[in-house]
Amino acid sequence: MVKRIVQFLVFGLVVAVLIQPVYAAETLASVEQKISKQWTGVSTLSATMDMHAKVHHSLLGVDLKVNGPLHMQKVGETKIKYRAEMDGRAVVKPLYLLRIKTNVLTVSDGDIVYSQRTSGEKTSVSKARAGHKAETAPGGGAGKFTAMKKRYDLKLLKNKRFDGRKVYVIEGKPKAGVEKAYDKMERIEMYFDQETGLQVRSALYGKRKLITEVTLTDLKVNPKLNPAIFKYIPPEGIEVEDKTKAS
């Protein structure tokens, strides 16, 4: 009996040693190839988008939580059309009783991104070029990796599960001389869905503190979408702030 137990343990140890190189062979380059391949099978996508952002100014801070539907469509290999409309509340701290109803609408035709925000009774609209530093655009595949490698030094972390799906986890730290999305940002953590190649989570951190987090859940791959949803018309009487030159 003891002999069988010892044989079983030795066998398990041998198997563990043999399969170790398989896991060790997973590199950032191999993950990029897999994500890029999976992303080619996606033409349209719908999901639920959640955004959590924390902004602090001196003694006051704003904690924003919004969520709602996201729809996106690929245009060629590099451009993404998308529309995200999220509702929620902004909580002003330390005045926790001050809760402001908030709506955030973002529409991109692949070249220009329109951002419309309504807080309480006030609505503001701005437009910027797609790919600007603070944009939280959906995407995946080789295009996303190219953009990440320009801004960050990347490191592959241990795989996880997110929203019931297997994901690759990649950490990025801002490269020297590259403008940050947020001044206090020190690192970014990104989840990529292994089945679609889509980035399903992006979390920016300062010194051990979360600055902003964007997640995509309830994925629906290649649904039929109405092209009209990617056209934006600002509300009547609202002036659009032009940030295309600055971004």
Q: Is 212 exposed, middle or buried (0-12, 13-18, 19+ CB in 10 A)?
A: buried
| Cα–Cα nearest to 222, from 43, 39, 36 | 43
Instruction: List the helix and strand counts (H, then E) for the chain.
Output: 3, 12
| Cα–Cα nearest to 42, from 82, 11, 98, 95 | 82
Please name the residue that has the structure tokens 């995407």.
Answer: 139
Whether 126 has a pLDDT exceeding 90, the answer reads yes
Whether 201 has a pLDDT exceeding 90, the answer reads yes
Whether 110 has a pLDDT exceeding 50, the answer reads yes
The region of weakest confidence among 53-67, 80-94, 194-208, 212-226 is 53-67
The phi and psi torsions of 136 (rounded to 5 degrees) equal -110, 55
Residue range 36-87, pLDDT digits in tens: 999 999 999 999 999 998 876 656 777 889 999 999 999 876 789 999 999 9
Dist CA 210 CA 103 (whole Å): 22
pLDDT band, very low/low/confident/very high, at 8 (cuts 50, 70, 90): very low
The mean pLDDT value for 203-223 works out to: 92
Q: How many CB atoms sit inside 10 A of residue 24's CB?
A: 8
Q: Name the most confidently modeled range: 10-24, 32-46, 123-137.
A: 32-46
The region of weakest confidence among 21-30, 60-69, 160-169, 202-211 is 21-30
Rounded alpha-carbon distances, angstroms, from residue 69 to 61, 146, 220, 225, 235: 27, 27, 11, 13, 20
Average per-residue pLDDT for the chain: 84
The region of weakest confidence among 11-20, 109-118, 140-149 is 11-20
Share of the chain above pLDDT 70, in %: 81
Q: What DSSP assignment string belongs to 110-172?
A: SSEEEEEEEETTEEEEEEEETT-TT-----BHHHHHHHHHHHEEEEEEEEEEETTEEEEEEEE
Share of the chain above pLDDT 90, in %: 58
Q: Which of the two residues, 217 and 96, has the higher pLDDT score? A: 217
| Cα–Cα nearest to 200, from 55, 37, 50 | 50
Whether 19 has a pLDDT exceeding 90, the answer reads no
Note the pLDDT of residue 185. Answer: 83
Dist CA 196 CA 199 (whole Å): 9
Quickly list H helices, the chain. Answer: 2-24, 28-39, 141-151
Q: Which of the two residues, 132 and 50, has the higher pLDDT score? A: 50
Assessment of whether the complete model's pTM goes beyond 0.95: no
Whether 243 has a pLDDT exceeding 50, the answer reads yes
The 8-class DSSP code of residue 235 comes to P
pLDDT band, very low/low/confident/very high, at 182 (cuts 50, 70, 90): low
The HSE-up count of residue 156 (CA atoms within 13 Å, CB side) is: 14
pLDDT band, very low/low/confident/very high, at 22 (cuts 50, 70, 90): very low
